[in-house]
Amino acid sequence: MSTKEMDFLSYEEALKIVAAIQEEEDVHHSNKRILTIYNYDDKEICWFDFDEVMAAVGEVPAGERKESVQNYILNHIPTWALDF
């Protein structure tokens, strides 16, 4: 499903449910990284492909990379994440 077909939470709504963003190994694909999103109950609510997020964020100064990735993710949390 493309992002054009998906509805996202507002940044403010995402802040209310996202407790952590963890870079992890993809258990289904060796040598691949994902960014797993956890809620305040420590439950996984969704994940993002690391390489796709980094490409979407683009070139940013190293000191701003973490904040840029967080902002990108918080603006792309699908509405169905509320079901968790």
Question: What is the overall mean pLDDT for the chain?
Answer: 93
The structural domains of the chain, with segments of one domain joined by +, span 3-83
Is the Cβ–Cβ distance between 14 and 79 less than 8 Å? Answer: no
Global confidence as pTM: 0.88
What is the sign of the dihedral through the CA atoms of 8, 80, 82 and 44?
negative
- pLDDT range class, residue 77, cuts 50, 70, 90: very high
Model confidence pLDDT, tens digit, residues 23-56: 999 988 889 999 999 999 999 999 999 999 999 9
